[in-house]
C-alpha cells in the first residue's frame, strides 16, 4: 500500500485520496466543496489516475462521492472501470450530459450498485430515459439476488435525479420499476416534475412496497401520491389470505345473502372475474416537498394518511409550501397523538431472521453533532459520524406563511407529544396575532407558548431540538431574532 501512497503523492492527487490509501475504509469522500479539494477540484484526468490505483487495489463495496467537481462526459471510461467495485456513487453537480448516460448504459445495467446520485447535471429527456431504462432492465438492480434478504429484492436502494431534466419517457420506466414485486428502491429524489410524470409516479406508488423516503421539489404536487401510499389494488389469483381486504367484503356479502334466503328477489351471485383486491402499503417514513406549489390541501392529505394504522411517516419537510395557519393546525392535530412507528416486513430481515438495516448509512432523522457536519463547506464527514439519531417525529416548516395562531398550535403539539424530536420554523411570523371575526377576542402569543413548551420538554427524557431563526436571551426572559444554521433532515445518508 505504501507504493500506492507514493504514486498518489507523485501524481499530486487530492489529500483525501492519499489519506484513504493510508487508512482504507468503505467510504472515499472526494466531494469537491470540502476544504482540501475546493481550490483544485477533480477533473477527468485526475479521476483517471485515481481509477488506475483503485483498480489495482480492488476495494469491495466502496462508496465514492465525486459531487461538485469538474467532471465531464469523458469521465465515463473511468466510471465504467470502477463500477464493479462500487456500492454507492455520487456525481452530483458536475458537467455530465446524455452522452455520459449513453456510454455507461450497458455497464450500469450489469452492475449491482446500491446508491446512485446524478443530480444537478443536464442529462435531459434522452439521458434520463436511457438511465431509467438501464435500471429497469438490470436484473440485479431491479430484482436482486437471493440470499441477502428473505426475498430477492433489487439492490438499487437510493436514486437521486433532482435537477436533471427528468422526462415523461423516463417516468414510464420509473413506473415499471416501482410496481415490480421485488423493487428494492428505498429512497427516490426528483424535482420539477410535469403533471404526467407525477401521474405515473402516483400509479407506481399505488403498487410499491419499498419506498421509505420520497423527495419531490419545485413541482405542482399531485395529491394522489399521498393518497396512494395506502390503497387497494387489483391482483390476479385463486387463493385469498385472511389479511386481504376482499375477504371482508366476501364475508359481508355471504351474511347479507343468508339473511335474504327467504326472499324471492335474492340477487344472483356475481360472476368470477379472476381479479381480487389487496391492500398495498408503501412504507414511507420521510417526505420532502420543498418548494412545491400547494397549500393546506397537502396537509389535509397528510392528516388523512397519518390517521391510518399502516402509516409510518415520521419526517415531513414542507419548506416553502404556503400552508399558513390552517395547514399548520391540520398537521398539529394529526400528529398530536401520533406515535413513532417503524415498518415491519420481510424487506428488513434476511433468510435467518436478522436485520439487514445498515445503521452506518441510514439516518431517518437530523444531524446534531458539530464534528459530523462542516458548516463552512456544507459537507457531512461520515468518518466522524457515529451513527444515526433516534428517528422520532421531525418537522421542517420554513417559509410556510405561518403566523401566531399556527405557531402556537405547533408549540402545543411539541409540548404534549414528546415523540416530536425536531421542528424548524425559520422565516415564519412570530409576532402576536389577534383573531378575526370568528375569534375576535382571541390573542395568540407564539413566543410565550414556545417558552412554555421548552420548559415542559426540558423536564422529560426526550429533549426537543428547534430551529426557527430565533434564540432566547441569556436570562431566558424573551426570544430574540437570530440567524443560525438549521439541522439537516436525512433518510439514507451517504452523500452531500
Find the DSSP H helices in 118-215: 124-137, 139-142, 168-179, 195-207
**Paired strand residues for 279:** 232
Q: Which residues of 420-450 are buried (b: 16+ CB within 10 A; e: fewer)?
A: bbbbbbbbbebeebeeeeeeeeeebbbbebb
CATH number of 296-361+388-496: 3.80.10
Cell numbers placing 375: 458548516
Question: At which residue does the C-alpha cell 407529544 appear?
Answer: 417
pLDDT one digit per residue (tens) for the chain, 496 residues: 788 899 999 999 999 999 999 999 989 999 998 888 888 899 999 999 999 999 999 999 899 999 999 999 999 999 999 999 999 999 999 999 999 999 999 999 999 999 999 999 999 999 999 999 999 998 888 876 545 555 567 889 999 999 999 999 999 999 999 988 788 899 999 999 999 999 999 999 999 989 999 999 999 999 999 999 998 887 654 444 444 444 555 555 555 555 555 444 544 444 444 456 778 889 999 999 999 988 889 999 999 999 999 999 999 999 999 999 999 999 999 999 898 777 766 666 666 666 666 666 777 888 665 444 444 433 443 333 333 445 589 999 999 999 999 999 999 999 999 999 899 998 898 888 988 766 767 899 998 898 899 889 888 878 888 887 765 555 555 555 444 456 788 888 777 6
Q: Which CATH architecture does the domain made up of 97-237+274-284 adopt?
A: Alpha-Beta Horseshoe (3.80)
In this structure, the strands spanning 373-374 and 379-380 are antiparallel
Confidence at residue 274, expressed as pLDDT on a 0 to 100 scale = 47
What are 59's three cell numbers? Answer: 476495494
**Using an 8 Å Cβ cutoff, are 246 and 280 in contact?**
no
Cell of 391: 428517528
pLDDT of residue 353: 63
Q: Locate the domains of the chain by residue range.
A: 1-82, 97-237+274-284, 296-361+388-496
**Domains 97-237+274-284 and 296-361+388-496 belong to one CATH topology:** yes
- How distant, in Å, are the alpha carbons of 174, 250, 342, 358, 388 from that of 494? 22, 47, 21, 11, 12
User: Which residue bears the cell 446520485?
Assistant: 117
One DSSP character per residue, 52-75 reads HHHHHH--SSEEEE--SS---GGG
Under 8 Å between Cβ of 3 and 24: no
pLDDT at 261: 55
Sign of CA dihedral 139, 141, 143, 147: positive
Q: Within 10 Å of residue 31's Cβ, how many Cβ atoms?
A: 28
Mean residue pLDDT across the chain: 82
Cell numbers for 444, please give them.
395568540
The set of cell numbers assigned to 433 is: 396575532
Q: Is 480 helix (H, G, I), strand (E, B) or coil?
A: strand
Q: Measuring CA to CA, how many Å separate 88 from each of 91, 95, 240, 440? A: 10, 19, 40, 57
pTM metric for this prediction = 0.84
Instruction: Quick: pLDDT tens for 134-186.
Output: 999 988 888 765 455 555 678 899 999 999 999 999 999 999 999 887 888 99
Contacts 24+ apart (CB under 8 A), 101-105: 101/126, 101/127, 101/128, 101/130, 101/131, 101/134, 102/127, 102/130, 103/73, 103/76, 103/77, 104/76, 104/79, 104/80, 104/134, 105/130, 105/131, 105/133, 105/134
User: How many CB atoms are located within 10 Å of the residue 376 CB?
Assistant: 9
Amino acid at each position: 500500500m505504501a507504493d500506492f501512497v507514493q504514486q498518489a503523492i507523485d501524481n499530486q492527487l487530492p489529500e483525501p485520496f492519499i489519506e484513504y490509501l493510508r487508512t482504507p475504509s468503505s467510504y472515499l469522500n472526494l466531494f469537491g466543496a470540502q476544504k482540501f479539494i475546493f481550490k483544485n477540484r477533480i477533473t477527468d484526468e485526475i479521476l483517471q489516475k485515481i481509477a488506475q490505483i483503485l483498480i489495482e487495489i480492488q476495494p469491495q463495496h466502496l462508496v465514492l462521492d465525486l459531487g461538485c467537481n469538474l467532471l465531464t462526459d469523458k469521465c465515463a471510461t473511468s466510471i465504467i472501470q470502477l463500477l464493479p467495485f462500487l456500492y454507492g456513487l455520487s456525481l452530483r453537480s458536475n458537467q455530465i450530459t446524455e452522452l455520459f448516460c449513453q456510454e455507461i448504459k450497458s455497464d450500469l445495467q450489469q452492475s449491482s450498485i446500491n446508491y446512485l446520485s446524478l443530480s444537478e447535471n443536464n442529462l435531459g429527456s434522452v439521458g434520463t430515459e436511457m438511465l431509467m431504462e438501464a435500471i429497469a432492465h438490470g436484473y440485479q438492480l431491479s430484482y436482486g439476488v437471493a440470499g441477502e434478504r428473505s426475498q430477492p429484492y433489487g439492490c438499487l436502494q437510493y436514486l437521486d435525479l433532482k435537477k436533471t431534466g427528468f422526462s415523461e419517457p423516463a417516468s414510464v420506466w420509473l413506473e415499471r420499476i416501482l410496481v415490480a414485486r421485488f423493487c428494492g428502491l428505498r429512497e427516490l429524489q426528483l424535482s420539477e416534475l410535469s403533471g404526467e410524470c407525477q401521474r405515473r409516479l402516483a400509479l407506481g406508488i399505488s403498487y410499491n412496497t419499498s419506498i421509505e423516503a420520497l423527495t419531490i421539489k419545485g413541482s405542482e404536487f399531485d395529491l394522489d401520491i399521498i393518497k396512494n401510499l395506502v390503497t387497494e389494488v387489483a391482483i390476479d389469483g385463486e387463493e385469498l389470505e385472511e389479511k386481504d381486504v376482499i375477504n371482508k367484503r366476501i364475508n359481508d356479502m355471504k351474511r347479507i345473502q343468508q339473511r335474504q334466503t327467504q326472499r324471492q328477489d335474492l340477487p344472483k351471485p356475481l360472476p368470477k372475474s379472476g381479479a381480487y383486491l389487496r391492500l398495498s402499503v408503501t412504507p414511507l417514513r420521510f417526505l420532502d416537498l420543498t418548494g412545491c406549489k400547494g397549500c393546506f390541501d397537502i396537509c389535509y392529505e397528510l392528516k388523512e394518511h397519518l390517521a391510518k394504522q399502516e402509516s409510518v411517516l415520521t419526517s415531513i419537510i414542507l419548506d416553502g409550501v404556503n400552508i399558513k395557519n390552517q395547514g399548520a393546525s391540520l398537521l398539529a392535530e394529526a400528529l398530536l397523538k401520533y406515535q413513532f412507528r417503524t415498518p415491519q416486513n420481510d424487506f428488513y430481515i434476511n433468510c435467518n431472521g436478522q436485520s439487514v438495516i445498515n445503521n452506518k448509512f441510514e439516518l431517518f432523522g437530523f444531524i446534531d453533532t458539530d464534528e459530523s457536519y462542516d458548516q463552512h463547506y456544507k459537507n457531512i464527514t461520515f468518518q466522524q459520524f457515529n451513527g444515526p439519531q433516534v428517528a422520532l417525529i421531525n418537522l421542517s416548516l420554513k417559509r410556510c406563511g405561518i403566523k401566531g395562531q399556527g405557531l402556537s398550535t405547533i408549540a402545543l403539539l411539541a409540548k404534549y407529544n414528546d415523540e416530536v424530536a425536531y421542528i424548524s420554523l425559520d422565516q415564519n411570523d412570530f409576532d402576536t396575532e389577534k383573531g378575526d371575526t370568528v375569534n375576535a377576542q382571541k390573542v395568540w402569543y407564539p413566543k410565550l407558548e414556545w417558552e412554555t413548551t421548552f420548559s415542559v420538554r426540558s423536564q422529560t427524557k426526550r429533549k426537543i431540538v428547534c430551529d426557527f431563526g430565533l434564540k432566547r436571551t441569556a436570562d431566558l426572559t424573551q426570544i430574540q431574532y437570530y440567524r443560525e444554521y438549521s439541522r439537516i433532515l436525512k433518510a439514507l445518508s451517504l452523500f452531500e
